[in-house]
Structure 1
Amino acid sequence: MPFDFNGKKVLVTGAGKGIGRAVAIALNEAGCKVYALSRTKSTLDSLVAEHPKIVPMLANLSNWDDARRMLEDLEPLDGLVNNAGILEERYSVVDCPRDYIIKILDTNLLGAINCAQVVAKKMIDSKIKGSIVNISSVAGIGSFYTYLPYSVSKAGLDMVTKQFALELGPYQIRVNSVNPTLVMTPMISSLKDGLDLQYEKGFIARTPMGRIAKVEESVGPVLYLLSDYSSMVSGQMHPVDGGMLSNVAVKI
């Protein structure tokens, strides 16, 4: 089914790379006015060079006040995709430093709350029946070794989805999560300690569909949730995992 976002305005955070970039491009190609937010100027520059109609926004969502000031200057929007997230290192639960936990939560969880608050207030004031999509993770639903801060941030983001859906529903504003499995985005590929082939094979072995997800396979669900096709869908998590979460079998 074709998506038509002509006349719509959507902010995509973390739009410089990976899923966020793919979503921003798809929305732009569907006629949407896209505001693309990233903390990295070079990736924004390359995105706009390829798609000149996209409006770049350079900001670091870990800085609550600075990000909020920039967001408050935006016009009222029809949609928000909270995609910005970081994952830089992996620690066991007993060794994970407090500063690293806070760093992850500042961007992945508090940054998303900050964006949703500002965008939703403008939607309410302008009587816009909008949609907010939070890019969460299967790591927020199931536990994974050495991912404590990331998993906690995504589990928290899923509850943010439910809480905002509850309180924004009366204004006809919908809020949902998309929860991808392992996707070989630049963030995953650049982990400091790397993800070896054995780790990738482990994901494939646990996935009934038998492969790693592609970036573009998370784009369709996001566009669906932003569109009128999902007009009665709110407060829901949408795993994109090839059936991984359904697999509790032990291979013998």
Structure 2
Amino acid sequence: MIEARNVSRRYGDTLVVDDVSLRIPERGVTSIIGPNGAGKSTLLSMISRLLPLSSGVVLVDDLDVTKTPGDALARRLAILRQDNHLTARLTVRDLVTFGRYPHSRGRPTVEDRAFVEGAIHHLGLEPIAHRFLDELSGGQRQRAFVAMVLCQDTHYVLLDEPLNSLDMKHAVSMMQELRRAADALGKSVILVLHDLNFASCYSDHIIAMREGKVAFQGNAEELMRTEVLRGIYDLDIAIHQLDGRWIAVHYR
């Protein structure tokens, strides 16, 4: 389980994450939603130790992320940031292979290569596995980076806006694959999402942030109510149920 206790992050006089305490379930899909500037990505970056905490503590399976050796943390938790820039010219297969580094130390075994090919297959990247990243569309590169993170084979998978640059077809495919990773492989997948409907349709647990604080925690049925969403987004949102899923279909 991932637990944040009284976590805050300041940039000068600006408090971006304000005394947040929460627990993320050990299994399933958890989505972090909220308006722009709510502190979603900052919170995810502190959980993964990409950003230092101004105060508080984050525990991953009772291990303090600020004190745990990097190689030990990398075998439990994988993170994909929004801004993924590489200076080296790599193929898709090269990039995905990097996901095995915490296990292989740069010397991939037969088992490591099986993980690489499996991740490439699950993200539908076989036709472009030999191509260089700078030859790909933004959506193709995004899928390659997600394959790299899944290839790391950690229990906790943290993804910051994984649907960026993806069209509707590939966004749905991505969410289905992440849902499968949670269900079939027993992983805990934690996402920062802007799309309310993707969060409601694919998540077991949803955390909504507003102005650096947690405004809501619960499941989709509890979230998808006009009065709850108004308190998060300052909008009246019409909610409908479609095939057992709650959908926001109109903003007024």
Q: TM-score range by the shorter chain?
A: 0.3 to 0.5
Which TM-score applies when normalising by structure 2? Answer: 0.36
Relative contact order, higher structure (CA 8 A, sep 6+) = 2
Larger strand proportion of the pair:
2
